[in-house]
Amino acid sequence: MLFKTDIANMPIEAESRVIVRFQDCDPLMHLNNSKYFDYFFNAREDQVSKLYGFSYEAMFRELKTSWVVYQHQIAYVRPAMISEWIRITSRVIYFNEDTMVTEYFITNDRKNQLKTVLWTTSKHISIENGKRVPHPEEIMDYLKATCVRNIDFPNTDFNERIHTIKTSLAV
């Protein structure tokens, strides 16, 4: 069993609060651009484990499948600074039979200033041959339950989405 939470009660959005570490910063005291990916992916792994009881290792072992990154789109809106507390939000904004798009964004601790937005497109693959395979029913049920419903991803422009997120933070 990949999920230990009732699918009907799964939250759509996940959030983590973390501090920007000295070791992850550049000489200007900004979070290094490459480190954003570590922060996003570590947060998502912790979030889905805590919220859904999901383990990537269990998917790997039980289904003999995994997701691999196909594409990233990222915008560095404002820098995350050394020793700053930040909020990392993640959510699925699109899926189909073998693809998933996860949206991540970072804000300041008060959640009123957008710092970074990332879209990651992942393909579902067989670990036995590395080829794309359809999501099994259990994964499709999870994606249906947790995907943000009001985003028309195929017709959404990344820059427009950044503006939408910024506007939602100003409320």
CATH number for the domain spanning 156: value is 3.10.129.10
| pLDDT of 5 | 65
Q: Looking at the domain assignment, is residue 2 inside a domain? A: no
| pLDDT of 170 | 74
Tens-place pLDDT, residues 116-157 = 999 999 999 999 999 999 999 989 999 999 999 999 999 999
| Domain span including residue 145 | 11-170
> Into how many domains does the chain fold?
1
| pLDDT of 87 | 98
User: Which residues, other chains included, contact 9 with Cβ-Cβ below 8 Å and sequence gap of 6+?
Assistant: none
Q: Looking at the domain assignment, is residue 104 inside a domain? A: yes
- Predicted TM-score (pTM) of the model is 0.93
Low-confidence ranges of the chain (pLDDT < 50): none
User: Which residues, other chains included, contact 109 with Cβ-Cβ below 8 Å and sequence gap of 6+?
Assistant: 17, 84, 85, 86, 87
Place of tokens 């879209």: 119
In the chain, the amino acid numbered 162 is I
